[in-house]
């Protein structure tokens, strides 16, 4: 799948996030990058020769923000194009995994741990 069509799928999924969740994402930027860098993978304890990422949340989860939380840059959710298109050959499966990945990263924004998110199937 070409990158333009991939971006359209990502935007469709993002635009489909329902309320009340969508309004809590007003200070979150969605980015699509080709690949996670070797440095990023290593910083997360992953082995670049065998591991990759489909998505990444970077920011301060809502549950960790206090009354003085202000003037911080937006949180970022990054979706990685190439790992997803390498793994999922059909548009239907790719769309499902994009949605799953976005839900996973949004859950981090809402303060859920990796264990909690995986327990829910994401």
CATH classification at residue 107: 3.30.2010.20
* pTM of the shown model: 0.89
Question: How many domains is the chain partitioned into structurally?
Answer: 1
Q: What is the pLDDT of residue 42?
A: 97
pLDDT in tens, the chain (122 residues): 899 999 999 999 999 998 888 988 988 999 999 999 999 999 999 999 999 999 999 998 888 887 777 778 899 999 999 999 999 999 999 999 999 999 999 999 999 888 998 888 87
Give the list of residues 6+ apart from residue 10 with CB closer than 8 angstroms, or none.
30, 32, 79, 98, 102
Q: What is the pLDDT of residue 87?
A: 96
Q: Domain residues for 56? A: 3-119
Between the alpha carbon of residue 54 and those of residues 17, 37, 82, 85, 110, the distances in Å are: 18, 12, 9, 10, 19
Q: What is the pLDDT of residue 40?
A: 97
Tell me, what DSSP letter sits at residue 18?
Answer: P
For the chain, the straight-line distance linking the first and the last C-alpha, in angstroms and rounded, comes to 23
Q: What is the pLDDT of residue 77?
A: 97
């Amino acid at each position: 799948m070409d990158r333009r069509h991939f971006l359209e799928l990502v935007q469709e999924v993002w635009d489909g996030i329902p309320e009340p969740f969508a309004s809590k994402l007003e200070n979150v930027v969605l980015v699509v990058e080709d690949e996670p860098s070797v440095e990023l993978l290593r910083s997360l304890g992953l082995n670049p020769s065998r591991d990759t990422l489909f998505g990444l949340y970077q920011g301060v989860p809502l549950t960790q923000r206090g009354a003085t939380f202000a003037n911080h840059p937006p949180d970022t959710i990054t979706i990685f194009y190439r790992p997803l298109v390498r793994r999922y050959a059909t548009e239907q499966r790719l769309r499902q995994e994009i949605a799953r990945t976005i839900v996973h990263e949004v859950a981090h924004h809402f303060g859920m741990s990796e264990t909690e998110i995986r327990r829910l199937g994401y």
